[in-house]
C-alpha cells in the first residue's frame, strides 16, 4: 500500500516538473499568446461579419421629401405675394394673387353670351310653336279638301258634278297634302335648330361651359398651397409676370419625410418592406431616428463604359453613379425609408444620412402604400368669384 503511494507521488512530481520545463521555454509562451490573439481576432471577425450581415448599413443616403412646383395655370402679373422664402404654409393657404381683370372681362362676356343664347333658345321655341300652329292649320285644310274631293268624286258618274269641279277638288286636296308635308318639315327643322338632347339644350350647355371655363380662369388667379410644407427658392416679387405653367418656386411637402439609401445589390436580398431602420442624420449624428423600409427600387439607369461614365436620358429612373472605374462593382439600388415620429428641425431635403437596417425583425403586416399618401382627398382650390352658372333644366 505504501509502495503504491510512493510511485503515485513520483509520477505527479515528474509531470509537474515536465510542465514547468515546458512553460519555462520562451517560444512556447509566445506561441500560446499568439494563438490567443489569433482566436480573439477570428471571433471578432465572425462577430463583425454576422453584425454586418444582420444589420446592413450604408453612408450613401440622403433625406428626401415630396415637392410641389408652384406654377400659375393662367398667365398674369403678380399683384399680391403673401409668403416669403422658407416660410411654413398650411394646405389651402393663399400664396399669391394674379391680375384677374382680363379674365373677369372674359367671364363677363361669357355670361352675357349665355344670356343671349337663352334668349335665342326662347325664340327657337317660339318658332317651333309657330311651325306647329301652321302645321295644324294646314292639316285641317288638307282634311277638308280631301273630304270635299271624296264627296264630289261619286257625283261625277251621275253627272251631278262636272269633271272640272272634281278635278279642281282633287288638285286642292293634293296641294293641301303637300303643304302639310312642308309644314312638317318646318317643324322638324325648328326642332333641330333648338338642338335639345335628352331634355337639355346644347346651345345653353355650350354657353354654360364657356362661362364655367372663364370663371375657372378667374379662380386660377388666386394660387393656394396644395400641401403643408415650406416655401423654397422664392425669387419673385409683386409686379413679376407669371407665365402659364411656368414654375415660380417650390413647396417642400413636410407631411412625409423619407430617406433614399443606396445599397449594393448583394445586400438587398435580406432587406424587406416593413423592416425597422435606424437613421443617423449628418446634422445630428449622435441621435438616431427610427424609420420603416417602404420599398426597394426595381430599376436604376444603367451606366455603360469603363471611365468617365455619363448617363444619357434616364427618364424617370434614378441615376446612381458607380464609385470607382475599372472595377466590376455591384449596382446600388435606392431603398426608400419613411421616417417615423414628428418632424425635426434638421429635416432638410438633400441632407446626408447614414442608415442601419435591422433584418431580424418581422416586417409590418398590411400594405405600406399609405405611407406615401397622407391626403385621401385631393386639394381643389376654391372658386373666385363663386360659380354663377344656373344649370339648364
The cell numbers describing 248, all together, are 415660380
Query: Comparing C-alpha atoms, which of 214, 222, 221 is closest to residue 107?
Result: 214
Q: How far apart are CA 168 and CA 173, in angstroms?
A: 9
| Helix/strand/coil for 254 | strand
pLDDT digit string (tens) for the chain, length 393 residues: 444 555 665 555 565 555 555 555 566 666 667 777 887 877 777 766 665 666 788 888 899 888 899 999 999 999 999 999 999 999 989 999 999 999 999 999 999 999 999 998 899 888 888 988 988 988 888 888 888 777 777 776 766 667 777 778 778 888 888 888 888 898 888 888 877 888 888 888 999 999 999 999 999 999 999 889 999 999 999 999 999 989 999 999 888 888 999 888 888 888 888 888 889 988 777 788 888 888 888 877 665 544 444 444 445 666 666 655 555 667 788 889 888 877 787 888 888 998 988 888 665 554 554 455 555 566 677 765 554 444 433
DSSP letter for each residue of 66-130:
EEEEEEBSS-EEEEEE---TT-EE-TT-EEEEE--HHHHHHHHHHHHHHHHHHHHHHHHHHHHHH
Where b means 16+ CB within 10 Å and e means fewer, 267-283 reads: bbeebbbbbbbbbbbee
Predicted local distance difference test score (pLDDT) of residue 287: 83
Residue 65 · residue 252 · CB < 8 Å: yes
Residues in contact with 63: Cβ distance below 8 Å, sequence separation at least 6, in sequence order: 257, 258, 259, 281, 347, 348, 349, 350, 351, 352, 353
Cβ pair 353, 178 in contact under 8 A: no
What is residue 244's three-state secondary structure?
strand
Q: With beta carbons less than 8 A apart as the criterion, state whether 165 and 152 touch.
A: yes
Amino acid at each position: 500500500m505504501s509502495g503504491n503511494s510512493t510511485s503515485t507521488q513520483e509520477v505527479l512530481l515528474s509531470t509537474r516538473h515536465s510542465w514547468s520545463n515546458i512553460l519555462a521555454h520562451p517560444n512556447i509562451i509566445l506561441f500560446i499568446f499568439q494563438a490567443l490573439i489569433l482566436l480573439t481576432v477570428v471571433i471578432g471577425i465572425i462577430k463583425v461579419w454576422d453584425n454586418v450581415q444582420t444589420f446592413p448599413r450604408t453612408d450613401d443616403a440622403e433625406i428626401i421629401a415630396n415637392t410641389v412646383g408652384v406654377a400659375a395655370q393662367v398667365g398674369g402679373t403678380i399683384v399680391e405675394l403673401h409668403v416669403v422664402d422658407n416660410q411654413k404654409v398650411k394646405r389651402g393657404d393663399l400664396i399669391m394673387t394674379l391680375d384677374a381683370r382680363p379674365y373677369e372681362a372674359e367671364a363677363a362676356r361669357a355670361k352675357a353670351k349665355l344670356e343671349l343664347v337663352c334668349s335665342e333658345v326662347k325664340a327657337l321655341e317660339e318658332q317651333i310653336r309657330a311651325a306647329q300652329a301652321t302645321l295644324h292649320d294646314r292639316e285641317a285644310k288638307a282634311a277638308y279638301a280631301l273630304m270635299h274631293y271624296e264627296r264630289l268624286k261619286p257625283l261625277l258618274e251621275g253627272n251631278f258634278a262636272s269633271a272640272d269641279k272634281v278635278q279642281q277638288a282633287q288638285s286642292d286636296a293634293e296641294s293641301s297634302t303637300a303643304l302639310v308635308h312642308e309644314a312638317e318639315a318646318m317643324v322638324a327643322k325648328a326642332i333641330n335648330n333648338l338642338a335639345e338632347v335628352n331634355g337639355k339644350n346644347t346651345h345653353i350647355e355650350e354657353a354654360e361651359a364657356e362661362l364655367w371655363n372663364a370663371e375657372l380662369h378667374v379662380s386660377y388667379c388666386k394660387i393656394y398651397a396644395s400641401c403643408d410644407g415650406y416655401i423654397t427658392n422664392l425669387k419673385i416679387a409683386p409686379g413679376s409676370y407669371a407665365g402659364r405653367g411656368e414654375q415660380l418656386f417650390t413647396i417642400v411637402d413636410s407631411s412625409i419625410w423619407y430617406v433614399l439609401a443606396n445599397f449594393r445589390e448583394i445586400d438587398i436580398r435580406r432587406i424587406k418592406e416593413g423592416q425597422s431602420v435606424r437613421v443617423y442624420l449628418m446634422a445630428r449624428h449622435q441621435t438616431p431616428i427610427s424609420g420603416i423600409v417602404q420599398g426597394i427600387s426595381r430599376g436604376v439607369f444603367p451606366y455603360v463604359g469603363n471611365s468617365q461614365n455619363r448617363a444619357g436620358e434616364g427618364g424617370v429612373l434614378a441615376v446612381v453613379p458607380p464609385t470607382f472605374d475599372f472595377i466590376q462593382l455591384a449596382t446600388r439600388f435606392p431603398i426608400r425609408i419613411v421616417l417615423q415620429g414628428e418632424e425635426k428641425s434638421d429635416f432638410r431635403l438633400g441632407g446626408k444620412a447614414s442608415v442601419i437596417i435591422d433584418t431580424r425583425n418581422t416586417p409590418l403586416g398590411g400594405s405600406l402604400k399609405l405611407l406615401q399618401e397622407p391626403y385621401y382627398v385631393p386639394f381643389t382650390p376654391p372658386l373666385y368669384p363663386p360659380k354663377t352658372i344656373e344649370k339648364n333644366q
